[in-house]
Chains A and B, each alone.
Chain A
Amino acid sequence: MSVFSRSVFAGIALAALVAGGAQATPDKQHAVAAVGIDITTGDPHKITGGGEYMFFSNVFESLYGHDLDGKLVPHLAQSHELSADGLTYTFKLRPNVKFHDGEAFTAEDVKYSWKRSNDPEIKNPRASIVTKNIKDVEIVDDLTVKFHLTKPNSSLLENLGEYFYMVPKDYAEKVGNETFGKQPVGTGPYKFVSRRIKENIQLEAFKEHWGQVPGVEKLTLQIVPDAQTRVAMLQTGEADIAINLPPQLAKSVDAGTDTKMVVSPSFQNIFIVLNMRGSDKAFASTKVRQALNHAVDKQTLIKKVMFGFATQSTGPCHKDIIGCDIDREPYAYDPKKAKKMLEEEKFDFSKTYRMFGLAPGRAAQSKEVLEAVAFYLNQVGIKTETEFLEYGAWLAKLGAKEFDTYGLFWQNWTDYNNDPMGRLPRNIRTDGYFSWSSYPELDPMIDEANSIVDPKERREHLRKIFTRLYDDPPWIILWTTDNTDAARKNVDWKPRANVSWPVFWQLSKQ
């Protein structure tokens, strides 16, 4: 063989070796989901943000949770009873439930999980939602526990699934808190295998799960920050699922021969907050705020800016939130009416109103939405000046409450389940951390909402609050966004409705 031929052959062999790593080998039992963010810990009592539930909702469970359609269902409990005064919950636990290490789940684990959740050393940032309000957990027998509450908490059942996960007492005590966070053990459909920070999380189907065993044996959550790259991985087959794609990429995914969009509703609400507490009282008037709701064409924004992946809201939340199914129609787009109302209220058109929003990268189309709203406000004569901040600065601005500097700002809020009490105190109550509103007469109603034990009565109570918040809107009410995920066509995946994180309980590959 000549030198030339040998060189050519070597070159081809090298190219084959290099290119051999190009395409993923299809493996029906192993699914790869490309996700944009990583978790900070594997410890369910140290969850810091909503994005982390892509891990926790697949690995951990609570006594009650939600099914894939978003309905509240028993999980590790089979049933519950509530005392007439609303202070004692009795839970009958599901028998034969195992933790991932093979140990049986019993009432001891429930009590331990409660204690651990309130452990000052761990300082669970979410303890105040559920576990702090539990005065004591009484073990009646191996499969029966009683929660004794400090005061009635009608949100408790809805919030268990996101705020109070069960952990194994024996294992957690044996390994200690630090190791538990690195090698977590739960009862969920997937068990933790390993993790490389900012690279991937390896999970395995838990074959002894009490309910649904996933259709794949292994699941890799691959951390891929760039959305375009997640799409590319999907198109090449390196990923089976791509999570949280910007809506403008949906067309290219649907156009692919092997890829499809997987769209599901969420409870992520998008709105423009109107500062009711500025000393200039610019947005204090109800009619002014109603006018602004008429000034913005929400349907056009959904079509053109959100590419159709949103549902216009009537009330200040999704209609499936308890009490938010109010008897009203969404504010119609009517700029003439808006202008007339503003003039009648002697709105100051000479002033320029400062608005702030979230810079791109964190929430889909956050910048474009605020720019478009500014356009509509300009059309009715309102002068605006916008600035965009990265997430940390935006969050700080929200809490800083510079009432005399900003008139409006973009905000999102995600309800984690059907109960609105995660939001109302923080966003609407006058002293709420994120509240730029002022409804003195609603504050006691908000405080009272969790004390009402009867569900029908509570729903009606909340409906009154939300109806008021429609009639006297604190925001330009926009929409709830859809989850825009994607998958290969050979993947059968049903995500959970009404959450903003991927749940992989029902997942298989053909």
Chain B
Amino acid sequence: MMRYIIKRLGQTVVTAIFVTMIVFGLARLTGDPTLLLLPTESTEEDRQFFRKQLGLDRSLPEQYLTFMGNALRGDLGTSFRYREPALDLVIDRLPATLELAVASMILAVLIAIPIGVLAAVRRGSWIDKLARWFATVGQSTPTFWLGLILIMVFAVDLGLLPSSGRGGLSHLILPAVTLGWYSAAAIARLTRSSMLEMMQSDFVRFERLSGLPEWVIVTRHALKNAAIPIITYMALQFGVLLSGAVVTERVFAWPGLGQMVVEAINSRDYPVVQAAVLVASLLFLLINLAVDLVYSWLDPRIRY
């Protein structure tokens, strides 16, 4: 197991390096940052000065090597826009994004798993129909629209919750529901189909014949075996939540990483884009590693 973990960590580092190369190149394809960093009164001489100051007058390979050399020392560059260390800006915003993503995922799981299980166990019933409707509607509802509707109803009309910003639990509810809605629908759908497969399997039939209570069969045996694809999907969804948070963060003025990255891309703030993508990709890779390790707990047959 330890060898497996070390091997995966090594793969993570290699993947991260590839990610930096791709992001580094793509960021620079977006255009000249001095056009946006400097006011329109600036002369070409001013722009040249800034390009030199930011190291943009050097060749791309030279810039990349400098970036990687500094990155190994934990220095991911200075934001062109805010003149603060890019990594500091990213780390400062990350907790807010993680808070939102985790809350959304918890909400999604709490809603989706029971719905999916009930729909499978009561196949064909009104519960099953409601669950399938929920899955369809949930996956076709635009996040932006949902967020604004929730604000209008719960903040403006009913005055029950704040409309935006980050604060206590009350501030988290609407953005978490907005962001988690799609995931809940998708997880519910997957749970239902995975459970249906398990409920028809031989071992479940055997357990019924053995006289085990149905709820024990469903929750302790069928669900556990159905969990692997669900957990795989949840891990992938977490990456989607991190990126999907961009829209939710904008609607709710949530001070997360997504908004900062979008602004950084729009203003050609390469260091912030690079730092944010690197941190997000490392996070995503580590989550996937954790998920792989959870498999072996769920299914003793899986050994690394």
Residues of chain A having any CB pair with chain B under 8 Å: 17-23, 40-41, 47-49, 123, 125-126, 128-129, 178, 181, 196-199, 222-226, 228-229, 232-233, 235-236, 238, 390-393, 395-396, 399, 422, 426, 433-434
The interface size of chain B toward A, counting residues with CB under 8 Å, comes to: 53
| Set of chain B residues within 8 Å of A228, measured between Cβ atoms | 148, 151, 251
Which single residue of chain A is at the shortest CB-CB distance from B144? A226
| Set of chain A residues within 8 Å of B30, measured between Cβ atoms | 392
Please list 10 pairs of residues, one from A and one from B, whose beta carbons are closer than 8 Å in the complex, sorted by A's number. A22-B159, A128-B43, A197-B82, A198-B259, A198-B263, A229-B253, A232-B156, A236-B162, A422-B41, A426-B41
Task: Tell me which of B40, B252, B255, B268 has the highest count of chain A C-beta atoms within 10 A of its own C-beta.
Answer: B40
In addition to A47-B39, A197-B89, A229-B148, 4 A-B residue pairs with Cβ atoms within 8 Å of each other are A198-B260, A396-B31, A426-B41, A433-B40
Residues of chain B having any CB pair with chain A under 8 Å: 30-32, 35-43, 46, 49-50, 53, 81-84, 89, 92-93, 148, 151-152, 155-156, 159-171, 173, 250-253, 255, 259-260, 263, 266-268
**Least Cβ distance of A147 to chain B in Å?**
20
| Residue among A18, A178, A196, A238 making CB contact with B163, cutoff 8 Å | A238
B164 touches A232 (CB 8 A): yes
| Residue among A129, A238, A392 making CB contact with B31, cutoff 8 Å | A392
- Contact (A19, B161) CB under 8 Å given A123-B46, A396-B35: yes
B164 touches A229 (CB 8 A): yes
| Set of chain A residues within 8 Å of B156, measured between Cβ atoms | 232, 235-236
A226 touches B253 (CB 8 A): yes
A223 touches B253 (CB 8 A): yes
**Least Cβ distance of B61 to chain A in Å?**
24
Which single residue of chain A is at the shortest CB-CB distance from B260? A198
| Set of chain B residues within 8 Å of A395, measured between Cβ atoms | 35-36
| Residue among B38, B82, B252 making CB contact with A125, cutoff 8 Å | B38
| Set of chain B residues within 8 Å of A392, measured between Cβ atoms | 30-31, 35-36, 266-268
Task: Tell me which of A40, A223, A226 has the highest count of chain B C-beta atoms within 10 A of its own C-beta.
Answer: A226
A123 touches B53 (CB 8 A): yes
- Cα A232 to Cα B151 in complex, Å, equals 7
| Set of chain B residues within 8 Å of A399, measured between Cβ atoms | 35
- Contact (A20, B170) CB under 8 Å given A223-B253, A225-B259: yes
- Cα A123 to Cα B49 in complex, Å, equals 9
Report the 7 A-B pairs with minimum CB-CB distance, sorted nearest first. Answer: A21-B170, A232-B163, A224-B253, A199-B255, A125-B38, A18-B170, A235-B156
| Residue among A18, A181, A196, A236 making CB contact with B169, cutoff 8 Å | A18
A222 touches B82 (CB 8 A): no
- Contact (A396, B159) CB under 8 Å given A123-B53, A199-B255, A233-B164: no
| Set of chain B residues within 8 Å of A126, measured between Cβ atoms | 39, 41
A23 touches B40 (CB 8 A): no
| Set of chain B residues within 8 Å of A19, measured between Cβ atoms | 160-161, 170
| Set of chain B residues within 8 Å of A390, measured between Cβ atoms | 266
- Cα A236 to Cα B35 in complex, Å, equals 38
Which single residue of chain B is at the shortest CB-CB distance from A361? B266
| Residue among A18, A129, A222, A433 making CB contact with B253, cutoff 8 Å | A222
A128 touches B163 (CB 8 A): no
- Cα A236 to Cα B155 in complex, Å, equals 7
Task: Tell me which of B162, B163, B164, B165 has the highest count of chain A C-beta atoms within 10 A of its own C-beta.
Answer: B163
A225 touches B253 (CB 8 A): yes
B260 touches A40 (CB 8 A): no
**Least Cβ distance of A427 to chain B in Å?**
10
| Set of chain A residues within 8 Å of B36, measured between Cβ atoms | 391-392, 395
A434 touches B268 (CB 8 A): no
| Residue among B155, B166, B250 making CB contact with A232, cutoff 8 Å | B155
**Least Cβ distance of B87 to chain A in Å?**
14
| Residue among B32, B159, B252, B267 making CB contact with A229, cutoff 8 Å | B252
B255 touches A396 (CB 8 A): no
- Cα A320 to Cα B41 in complex, Å, equals 22
| Residue among A41, A238, A422 making CB contact with B165, cutoff 8 Å | A238
- Contact (A181, B263) CB under 8 Å given A128-B43, A129-B41, A392-B36: no
- Cα A128 to Cα B263 in complex, Å, equals 28
**Least Cβ distance of B143 to chain A in Å?**
12
Which single residue of chain B is at the shortest CB-CB distance from A237? B159
| Residue among A40, A224, A391, A433 making CB contact with B164, cutoff 8 Å | A224
**Least Cβ distance of B237 to chain A in Å?**
24
A123 touches B162 (CB 8 A): no
B46 touches A125 (CB 8 A): yes
- Cα A470 to Cα B278 in complex, Å, equals 53
Which single residue of chain A is at the shortest CB-CB distance from B253? A224
A225 touches B266 (CB 8 A): no
Which single residue of chain B is at the shortest CB-CB distance from A399? B35
**Least Cβ distance of A292 to chain B in Å?**
25
A21 touches B164 (CB 8 A): no
- Cα A434 to Cα B166 in complex, Å, equals 41
- Cα A390 to Cα B156 in complex, Å, equals 32
- Cα A226 to Cα B251 in complex, Å, equals 6
